Chain A
Amino acid sequence: MKYRSFHPSRVDDSQLCTCLKRQLTITTEPIDEAALLRERTMSDAMGAVIYFLGVVRGGEGEQKISAIEYEAFKKMAEHQFHLLFDQIEKRWPIASIRLVHRIGIVKVNEPSLWVEVVAPHRGESFAACQWLIDEMKRVVPIWKKPVVL
């Protein structure tokens, strides 16, 4: 699939070199890791890229499953993700965040979440990525339902 291009979080052109670039996609399409990696852009000042892939496991507790069905309140999910990106921008010197969350049926071993954080140093990229995923699981309205074999 084709992912949307970066959107600076501020529209003032004079701020473009310093503001957080953000790309958010909530989609029923499979996550195309190769395309995402090809589309990565970095400046000379960036020294760290962290990316995380969340993959559907074959069991929920002791129950074997074949897939997970993800449901989202999409407009609110997008809004809440952007509120989290706003907070990241205030807390860490992050250059860009790209996040893809798949919804609908996602089979076992397929990725449901892809997150990439680009920053000058590894410390802030690890911290921001961990924080974003933790907060996503607290406030972004997406739910999952196991699909039993």
Chain B
Amino acid sequence: MQASVHFYSYFKDLTGCGQILESVADGSTLAELLKKIFQRFPKLAAMEKSMLVAVGLDYQPRDYILKDGDEVSLFPPVQGG
């Protein structure tokens, strides 16, 4: 199963890209996807605690079970206004 992962704000600088495709086993959780992402981009791992994670347009907890075609977004705390 593949999930597309999008990076925003300075996470784009930390990864050097705005978007990747990542393969995970069927039934994987967001936490398992994040583990693979952190192996690929070690600089992101340091941001884990403050990182916000959305699937589609909604925030999801780390135990969210991914579905094929899910669009996952990773970004730092928001700062609008």
Contacts and interface: CB of A to CB of B under 8 A. Distances in A.
Interface of A: 54, 70-73, 75-77, 79-80, 101, 112-113, 133, 136-145
Given A71-B8, A73-B8, A137 B57 contact: no
Q: Which of B10, B73, B80, B81 has the largest number of chain A CB atoms within 10 A?
A: B80
A136 B81 contact: yes
B79 A142 contact: yes
A54 to B, nearest CB: 5
Contacts, number: 57
A143 to B, nearest CB: 4
Nearest to A73: B8
Nearest to A133: B81
Interface in B1-55: 6, 8-10, 52, 54
Contacts of B80: 70, 72, 77, 101, 113, 136-137, 140, 142-144
Nearest to B59: A139
A141 B8 contact: yes
A146 to B, nearest CB: 11
